């Protein structure tokens, strides 16, 4: 529920002789203690946990979509293992159970100086503290030939939802014997093991539905997350089906022709696919970059304890958009950061000391529906960055047996149910 502006409260307080902190900065009529932009892994978590920790604070969550499709498990949709609606989540509990004002509109601009968010139609929403968790946007100018039309012809499916459905439809329509090309971007990008899980799940589908088909991964990097485990499993489960070209093998794509479904490599080789999943280079969400909150690389530097922007007071940035030291851009990271940001935003609003962060991340990947692998680590805030704690976490063992891999796939299902309940339950 919105509250009165601080100016109004200030006047009332003066009239009654009470002493309160009076700010005349924001002139918005509609105001909340905290406004969260983006109802995904970081934002939904932060909004809910602020209300959990401090039920008296008013919280608005601005999220453009009424349904949130998780990227985690979207590769299983591409592999035909799960339907799209199994990764769909709504915001009803956040509104009815947690008392969050959920606003389904696209936030236009944030004005950190005036402490307000400009919405379509001239609506302005003021805040004492804002938390931005807008995820990623794409750098459409980074690769020549890749443009808005390419988004439809070569669905990236790197934001789950309609793009996941479109890419799945292309895979279903492909002839047996076709080539699927997957082209991940350079680091950093959302979900480092995601492209390789995607190759695995598409291979799982092709193995039975279109066994003469091939998958080619054109990679601008020299190594990738969980590489040894993925490659071992590919040999065992999908022999001869997946080819991976690293940067040194001429894997870097420098030009795209979306109409011809062609990708050109740095050494001039043209690869033609029947389905092309080009995953473009990424930046912080556009609401953050438009407000000048990003650095030259396109990501938002933040205080590693409070997640307050290094470029704007009272605006906190979490999740994929933030520069979070050693933490990977994952849903688990965003969820973990959402809780620490919530704690520290409440601390600031109630005059308490900030709390140092301790964070966790586990990234599960499916190589087949009953074959899971994982990497895990614990992190902590230092004054300059977020660092991994030596000796924490680890990687799945290389030569584990089928039961072990099946158990990890089972744990991944449990992780998904738990984290989505934590965000939306
Ligand atoms: P998001 O979760 O994307 O949320 C951002 C939200 O902000 C969106 O709902 C968007 O609609 C909204 N938004 C943006 N701008 C505005 C605006 N101006 N106004 C209103 N709303 C706005 N992570 C894992 O931990 N485990 C996995 O197994 C895993 N698998 C993945 C598989 C794939 C294929 C991909 C692509 C990613 C995967 N990830 C995984 C990564 C994970 O999805 C992201 O790291 C996570 O979603 C980041 O959270 P976020 O809050 O930063 O952004």
Per residue of the chain (425 residues), give pLDDT as tens.
444 343 333 333 333 333 334 344 566 789 999 999 999 999 999 999 999 999 999 999 999 999 999 999 999 999 999 999 999 999 999 999 999 999 999 999 999 999 999 999 999 999 999 999 999 999 998 999 998 899 999 999 999 999 999 999 999 999 999 999 999 999 999 999 999 999 999 999 999 999 999 999 999 999 999 999 999 999 999 999 999 999 999 999 999 999 999 999 999 999 999 999 999 999 999 999 999 999 999 999 999 999 999 999 999 999 999 999 999 999 999 999 999 999 999 999 999 999 998 999 999 999 999 999 999 999 999 999 999 999 999 999 999 999 999 999 999 999 999 999 999 99
Strand bridging mode 124-132 / 116-118: antiparallel
Give me ligand 1 centre to Cα 215, in Å: 26
Determine which residue's CA is closest to atom 41 belonging to ligand 1.
Answer: 330
Question: What's the pLDDT score for residue 368?
Answer: 98
Q: Which residues contact 70 (CB under 8 A, 6 or more apart)?
A: 41, 87, 89, 160, 331, 416, 420
Tell me, in angstroms, the distance from the centre of ligand 1 to residue 71's CA: 7
> Residue 357: its pLDDT value, please?
86
Q: How far, in Å, CA of 140 to CA of 130, rounded?
A: 28
Cα distance between residue 117 and residue 410, in whole Å: 42
Q: Are 242 and 236 in contact (CB under 8 A)?
A: no
What is the pLDDT at residue 14?
31
Distances (CA, A) of 404 to 210, 228, 407, 413: 28, 17, 5, 15
**Length of the chain, please?**
425
CA 183 to chain centre: 18
Pairing of the two strands 262-265 and 270-272 = antiparallel
Find where tokens 């849903």 sit.
331
Burial of 296 (0-12, 13-18, 19+ CB in 10 A): exposed
Identify the residue whose C-alpha is closest to ligand 1 atom 43. 71
What's the start-to-end Cα distance of the chain, in Å? 20
Q: Find the Cα–Cα–Cα–Cα dihedral 105, 111, 115, 119, rounded to 10°.
A: -20
Alpha-carbon torsion, ordered 190, 192, 196, 199, to 10 deg = 0
Neighbours of 157 (CB within 10 A): 24
Q: Which atom of ligand 1 is nearest to the CA of 362?
A: 25
371 C-alpha to center of ligand 1: Å?
Answer: 24
Q: Tell me the torsion sign for CA atoms 75, 80, 81, 82.
A: positive
What pLDDT sits at residue 26?
A: 61
The pLDDT value given to residue 27: 67
Residues near ligand 1 with C-beta < 6 Å?
Answer: 37-43, 62-65, 68, 71-72, 74-75, 106-107, 133-135, 158, 190-191, 194, 198, 285, 287, 319-321, 329-332, 334, 363-364
Beta strands in 248-357 (DSSP E): 253-257, 262-265, 270-272, 275-278, 282-284, 300-301, 315-317, 322-323
- Residue 327: which of 176, 191, 139 has the closest Cα? 191
Tokens matching residue 386: 């977020």
Among 286, 289, 315, 320, name the best residue to mutate to test ligand 1's pocket (greatest count of ligand atoms within 8 A of Cβ): 320
All structural domains of the chain: 1-64+105-139+281-353 (3.50.50.60), 150-280 (3.50.50.60)
**HSE-up of residue 109 (Cα within 13 Å, Cβ side):** 9
CA–CA separation, 61 and 30 (whole Å): 13
Using CA atoms, how far apart are residues 11 and 292, in angstroms rounded to an integer? 34
Give me 164's structure tokens: 């996941």
Report how far residue 179's alpha carbon sits from residue 206's, in angstroms, rounded to the nearest whole number: 10
């Amino acid at each position: 529920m919105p509250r009165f502006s601080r100016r109004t409260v200030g006047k009332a307080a003066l009239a009654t002789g009470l002493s309160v902190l009076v700010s005349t900065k924001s002139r918005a009529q509609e105001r909340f203690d905290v406004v969260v932009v983006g109802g995904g892994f970081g934002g939904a978590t932060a909004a809910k946990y602020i209300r959990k920790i401090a039920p008296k604070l008013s919280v608005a969550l601005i999220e453009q979509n009424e349904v949130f499709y998780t990227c985690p498990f979207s590769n299983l949709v591409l592999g035909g293992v799960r339907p799209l609606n199994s990764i769909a989540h709504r915001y009803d509990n956040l509104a009815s159970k947690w008392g969050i004002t959920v606003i389904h509109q696209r936030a236009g601009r944030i004005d950190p100086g005036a402490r307000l968010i400009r919405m379509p139609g001239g609506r302005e929403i003021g805040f004492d503290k804002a938390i931005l968790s807008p995820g990623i946007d794409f750098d459409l100018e980074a690769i020549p030939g890749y443009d808005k039309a390419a988004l439809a012809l070569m669905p990236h499916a790197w934001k789950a939802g309609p793009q996941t459905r479109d890419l799945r439809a292309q895979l279903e329509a492909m002839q047996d014997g076709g080539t699927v090309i997957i082209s991940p971007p350079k680091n950093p990008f959302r979900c480092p093991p995601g492209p390789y899980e995607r190759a695995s799940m598409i291979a799982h589908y092709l193995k039975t539905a279109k066994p003469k088909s091939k998958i080619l991964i054109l990679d601008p990097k020299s190594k990738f997350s969980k590489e040894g485990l993925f490659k071992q499993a590919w040999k065992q489960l999908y022999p001869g089906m997946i080819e991976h070209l690293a940067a040194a093998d001429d894997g870097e794509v420098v030009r795209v022709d979306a109409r011809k479904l062609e990708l050109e490599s740095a050494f001039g080789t043209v690869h033609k696919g029947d389905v092309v999943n080009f995953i473009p280079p990424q930046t912080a969400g556009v609401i953050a970059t438009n407000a000048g909150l990003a650095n030259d690389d396109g990501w938002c530097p933040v205080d590693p304890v409070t997640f307050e922007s290094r470029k704007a007071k009272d605006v906190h940035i979490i999740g994929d958009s933030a520069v979070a030291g050693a933490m990977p851009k994952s849903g688990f990271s965003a969820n973990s950061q959402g809780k620490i940001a919530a704690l520290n935003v409440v601390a600031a609003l109630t005059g308490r000391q900030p709390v140092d962060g301790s964070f966790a991340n586990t990234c599960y990947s499916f190589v087949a529906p009953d074959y899971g692998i994982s990497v895990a680590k614990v992190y902590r805030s230092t004054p300059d960055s977020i660092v991994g704690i030596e000796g924490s976490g680890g990687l799945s063992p290389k030569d584990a047996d089928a039961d072990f891999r099946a158990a990890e796939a089972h744990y991944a299902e449990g992780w998904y149910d738990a984290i989505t309940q934590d965000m939306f339950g």
